[in-house]
Amino acid sequence: MSTTQHRIGIVGARGHTGAELIRLVASHPALELVFVSSRELDGQRVADNVPGFEGELRYASLDPEAVAAQGADVVVLALPNGKAAPYVEAIDKAKPDTLIVDLSADYRFDERWYYGLPELTRQRWRGEKRISNPGCYATAVQLSIAPLKDLLAAPPVSFGVSGYSGAGTTPSDRNDPEKLRDNLMPYSLTGHMHEKEASRHLGVPVEFMPHVAPHFRGLTVTTNLYLARPVKREDIVNRFHGAYDGEKLVHVQDEAPWVSQIAHKHHVDIGGFAVSSDGKRVVVVATLDNLLKGAATQAMQNINRAIGVDEYTAIPV
């Protein structure tokens, strides 16, 4: 096992995901956090903003050239969609062998970037130093459908409900607790980014309808799948166990999982497996913490594999 220290920096560290990443890096034996970039928190101590982090490291407001000049071995981009390219270009020029993990959607459709959903794409990694981290909903949707992909009679339909941490820290209706109280907010009901992403990487069209709920973290995806032939529930459950029983971060259970039980956990729960009386329709329910397996934990899996340590290093399994 490699015990080399790898210097890591995080860009966009103010967000909810940035804080989770900082916590994971802090407990990692092979990673040293050397910079955290945030315009809003410039000059503040990380320890004062991230409970559990110790040390004197301070946030800095770094432009793309300044990030590249840090010379880190690993850079995580935790920025809103559409903001990654200048940082990638600057790092490409200054230190092209830097490992870049991008948490936005910007490179999820780029063939030159490895799409890192380890449970489904682990075998496709060829040592790429450019890794696109999957979307939170797209992770749950794909894991719900993949074991049944060869049986589909129609595009699966996924109904998603997420806590408002998924709407980020920039104020909007979708992360305003007052407007969300006793409410459910539908949005992007066709053509959502994660619909396109899941469809592309599964290789089958998926229809997805997201909603924001009043809870803070965790998402639920309920997926309806029409099957080309009748299938027994037991055979469906066996397919999911066959696909995921070797996976530390995917737990297959009999009952439909509850989102209240997944907050602060690093894995995905998948269950339900309700089958219609004719055996040609099944409903699968998946839950995950959108800030962890939907973002920071998955990024850590990808970083660990790329730096040559055990995939689950620093991830509480």
In the chain, where are the structural domains located?
A: 6-134+294-307, 136-290
Q: Specify the CATH architecture of the domain 6-134+294-307.
A: 3-Layer(aba) Sandwich (3.40)
In 3D space, the residue among 246, 253, 260, 242 whose CA is nearest the CA of residue 285 turns out to be 253
CA–CA distance, 92 with 100 (Å, rounded to integer): 10
Whether the Cβ atoms of residue 43 and residue 13 lie closer than 8 Å to each other: no
Provide the CB-side half-sphere exposure for 129 (13 A, CA).
11
**What is the average pLDDT across 150-169?**
95
**What is the average pLDDT across 16-36?**
96
Domain 136-290 has CATH 3.30.360.10: yes
DSSP H or E stretch at residue 308: none
Of the pLDDT bands very low, low, confident and very high (cuts 50, 70, 90), residue 169 is confident
The catalytic residues are 136
Residue 222, pLDDT above cutoff 70: yes
Residue 119, pLDDT above cutoff 60: yes
Task: Give residue 301's pLDDT.
Answer: 98
